[in-house]
Chains A and B, each alone.
Chain A
Amino acid sequence: MSAAREQIFTRIRRSLQRSAPLAAPPVDRLPAPESNVRPRLEKDPLACFIEKLHTAAGTVDRVNAVSDVVQATADYLDRHRLEPRLVVAEHPLIHELIWPAEWEIHAGPATGDDHIGVGAAFAGVAETGTLVMLSGADNPTTINFLPDDHIVVVSALQIVAHLEDAWRLLRDRATVMPRTVNLITGPSRTADVEQTIQLGAHGPRRLHVIVIED
């Protein structure tokens, strides 16, 4: 190990009045994640998730089945008069969708030429209207950031109350942490010009969430 590392650790221990590394790990501050003080939700998690997402300038559609995602996407494109050219993640939740033949669809990753990205969330967090997106072969991170319009599909079953619940689901996955975990709460924004909020700084100008309630 480097001399710098050695000296930093020595200094830290000196300041903590300890001469050696801890013999045993410190007793966990929090024996269980449940022990965090969590903001009380005023509604059921799904309603709360949708309300908070609206507050964060996101939009939401609720559909009954996975197959309805195509129509919801078509409606979204109509509303915003968008050309049906999409980059779509190959996530299990959406990869069996049958898109209209005349649409231009390609699988990720996104490039600078993609204007609409479709991905799937690992979870939705009611507390703040946050989407939890995991990177992976079936969910490239560039889809979350390069397109102007970001459409995210999430199953209502995956809406949890608090962020701690999402971490629990993540730990249950058995696999290691993905390279990137994006907690996304609304579209990209900046307030760097006279503290006026402007959406669409570098990332998506719009965030649209399709919740499958089946």
Chain B
Amino acid sequence: MQRSTADFKRRAEAALQNVSLQQAMAKAKGGFVDKRRLAVNRLPEFEQIRAEAKSIKEHTLAHLDYYLDQFERKVLESGGQVHWARTAEEACSAVLAIIGQSGKQVLKGKSMVSEEIGLNAAMERAGHTVVETDLGEYIIQLAHEPPSHIIAPAVHKTRDQITELFHAEHEKYGLTGLVTETEDIVNEARQVLRSKFLSSDVGITGANFLIAETGSTVIVTNEGNGDLTQILPRKHIVTASIEKVVPSLDDMTVLLRLLGRSATGQEMSSYTTLSTGPKRTDDQDGPEEFHVVIVDNGRSEMLGNEFHDMLRCIRCGACLNHCPVYGAIGGHAYGWVYPGPMGSVLTPLMIGLENARDLPNACTLNGRCGEVCPMSIPLPDMLRTLRFKEHERKLSDARARWALKAWGLLARRPGLYQAVTGVMSTVLGRIGRRAGRFRALPLASGWTQVRDLPAPQGATFQRLWKGRR
């Protein structure tokens, strides 16, 4: 996928000025948070299950080769095929080879890894027509935009924008009325996409889990589009990354108890579907071919290193929903596939820290993401670790590094430090005494462009304390 991570600051500022984006984000904001809180409060065992989920994932990661091998065996036993891809390019090539000659109509269920590998663009270049079938994905496909949220891809769109978009894009199907109510919007999309479901050659879905015990791929959805995508066309292709594997059905069950609650506040999504091989000989429907494309794309390198914990991520989106920075700027400002806290960790690891220098820094380390993460991923710590790396590699802003260095020298010399701060606070305190604050101050424009700076009271505590004793 195209990336504009280097442009974070400008894109974030533009997002803050974008009225419709801000309207859409304001509407979404509380909903996710409240629903998750209610769902978690209704499950007294939540913390125990969270601990259990972590241990399942850790066990699986510690034996990842074993479980992937088991999964592959089971897929083969059930008549499916497994394709391995080291990189995004290899993954796209594998999918294209399975689709076959050009000119096919390809259905897609929502899949973040397919965004990561840039699959849609690759298929379109190869002459295929791609139809995103998740309503949110469909909306942004019509708008030629990437998703702005990992579970709610069109969360940045207002209803009015969707109305206009459908009006412009559905005319070719003879649908010329303006649909303004949510129900009518959904129905119109249902009508348009229903005909696509019934006329496509290939269906591609992602996977929330791969089950080693049975060789099943699992999707967790609400719309049913992922199911129609895989049962109607002749070929079902699953794109999944290596860390999605879990040992057994029971292990998946533990993760399912956390996924819906953390994502949308549902105890269980409408549809959780396990797909195992192609249709059986006496089945009356289902795909004739079943392919699983398993993508590494840098993950095997994360295993065991300081970012290992990130491989526990189940893509629930809770960290996005609870991140005040994400809430302010939306997902597009982050500039690549994965936004918010999990994206600020993953993106630099996948596209290079030098290409995403802002992401680990654009965070107040308020800790809310780590608090709600169902897999107990220490996201703030990982963002800080990326900052260490930026500092080591001198990727951070040179001026900021010098300022930090000067401050560091001072902070390690208490006597000098107290002399300097003593003078500073006395001077600033005297100047600011009447107003109590500064509206502008040299060298502090980052602060004073958006808020006043309260003036110091006068002498420092240390000076007053010395005087008192």
Where the two chains meet, the residues of A that have a C-beta atom closer than 8 Å to any C-beta of B are 2, 4-5, 7-9, 11-13, 15-18, 21-22, 25-26, 28-30, 33, 36-40, 52, 55-56, 108-109, 112, 127-130, 135-137, 140-142, 144-146, 162-164, 167, 170, 176-196, 198, 200-204
Q: Which of these binds chain A: B250-258, B344-352, B376-384, B458-466?
A: B250-258
Q: Which of these binds chain A: B10-18, B219-227, B439-447, B448-456?
A: B219-227
Assess A142 versus B231: contact at CB under 8 Å? Given A130-B268, A136-B280, A180-B286.
yes
Interface string of B27-59 (1 = CB under 8 A from A): 110011000000000011100110010011001
Where the two chains meet, the residues of B that have a C-beta atom closer than 8 Å to any C-beta of A are 24, 27-28, 31-32, 43-45, 48-49, 52, 55-56, 59, 62-66, 68-69, 77-78, 83-86, 90, 133-136, 139, 152-155, 158-159, 162, 182-183, 185-187, 189-190, 193-194, 197-198, 214-216, 222-225, 227-228, 231-232, 242, 247-251, 253-254, 256-257, 264, 266-280, 282-286, 294, 296, 300-305
User: B41 → chain A, closest Cβ, in Å?
Assistant: 13
Assess A193 versus B185: contact at CB under 8 Å? Given A11-B300, A29-B59.
yes
Q: A190 to B136, alpha carbons, bound, how many Å?
A: 9
User: B235 → chain A, closest Cβ, in Å?
Assistant: 14
Are A198 and B186 in contact, CB atoms less than 8 angstroms apart?
Answer: yes
Q: A36 to B24, alpha carbons, bound, how many Å?
A: 40
**Residue from A25, A176, A181, A191 in contact with B273 in the complex, judged by beta carbons closer than 8 Å:** A181
Q: A38 to B197, alpha carbons, bound, how many Å?
A: 38
Are A177 and B63 in contact, CB atoms less than 8 angstroms apart?
Answer: no
Residue of A nearest to B246 (CB): A29
13 pairs across A/B with beta carbons < 8 Å?
A: A11-B296, A37-B49, A39-B44, A136-B283, A140-B285, A177-B274, A179-B280, A184-B270, A189-B222, A193-B135, A194-B182, A200-B186, A202-B133
Are A15 and B90 in contact, CB atoms less than 8 angstroms apart?
Answer: no
Are A182 and B284 in contact, CB atoms less than 8 angstroms apart?
Answer: no
Are B52 and A22 in contact, CB atoms less than 8 angstroms apart?
Answer: no
Q: A190 to B284, alpha carbons, bound, how many Å?
A: 28
Residue of B nearest to A130 (CB): B268
Assess A26 versus B59: contact at CB under 8 Å? Given A15-B303, A184-B271.
yes
Assess A29 versus B55: contact at CB under 8 Å? Given A2-B84, A36-B254, A194-B158.
yes
Are A202 and B59 in contact, CB atoms less than 8 angstroms apart?
Answer: no
Assess A192 versus B154: contact at CB under 8 Å? Given A30-B250, A179-B279, A179-B283.
yes
Interface-centre pick from B222, B242, B305 (highest chain A CB count, 10 A): B222
Residue of A nearest to B24 (CB): A194
Q: Which residues of B contact A204 (CB under 8 A)?
A: 224
Are A190 and B186 in contact, CB atoms less than 8 angstroms apart?
Answer: yes
Q: Which residues of A contact B284 (CB under 8 A)?
A: 108-109, 137, 140, 142
User: B169 → chain A, closest Cβ, in Å?
Assistant: 15
Q: A142 to B284, alpha carbons, bound, how many Å?
A: 9
Are A183 and B272 in contact, CB atoms less than 8 angstroms apart?
Answer: yes
Residue of A nearest to B272 (CB): A183
Are B222 and A190 in contact, CB atoms less than 8 angstroms apart?
Answer: yes
Q: Which residues of A contact B254 (CB under 8 A)?
A: 36-37
Q: A39 to B152, alpha carbons, bound, how many Å?
A: 28
Are A8 and B296 in contact, CB atoms less than 8 angstroms apart?
Answer: yes
Residue of B nearest to A175 (CB): B280
Are A195 and B152 in contact, CB atoms less than 8 angstroms apart?
Answer: yes
Q: A109 to B282, alpha carbons, bound, how many Å?
A: 12
Q: A39 to B257, alpha carbons, bound, how many Å?
A: 9
Q: A181 to B77, alpha carbons, bound, how many Å?
A: 17
User: A1 → chain B, closest Cβ, in Å?
Assistant: 8
Q: A198 to B275, alpha carbons, bound, how many Å?
A: 26
Interface-centre pick from A2, A15, A202 (highest chain B CB count, 10 A): A202
Residue of A nearest to B256 (CB): A163
Residue of B nearest to A177 (CB): B276
Q: Which residues of B contact A145 (CB under 8 A)?
A: 224, 227-228, 231
Are A16 and B135 in contact, CB atoms less than 8 angstroms apart?
Answer: no
Q: Which residues of A contact B134 (CB under 8 A)?
A: 192
Q: A189 to B197, alpha carbons, bound, how many Å?
A: 17
Are A30 and B251 in contact, CB atoms less than 8 angstroms apart?
Answer: yes
Q: A141 to B270, alpha carbons, bound, how many Å?
A: 15
Are B43 and A39 in contact, CB atoms less than 8 angstroms apart?
Answer: yes
Are A22 and B222 in contact, CB atoms less than 8 angstroms apart?
Answer: no
User: A189 → chain B, closest Cβ, in Å?
Assistant: 5
Top 9 closest pairs, chain A to chain B, by CB: A203-B224, A201-B223, A192-B136, A15-B303, A11-B300, A5-B84, A128-B268, A183-B272, A181-B274
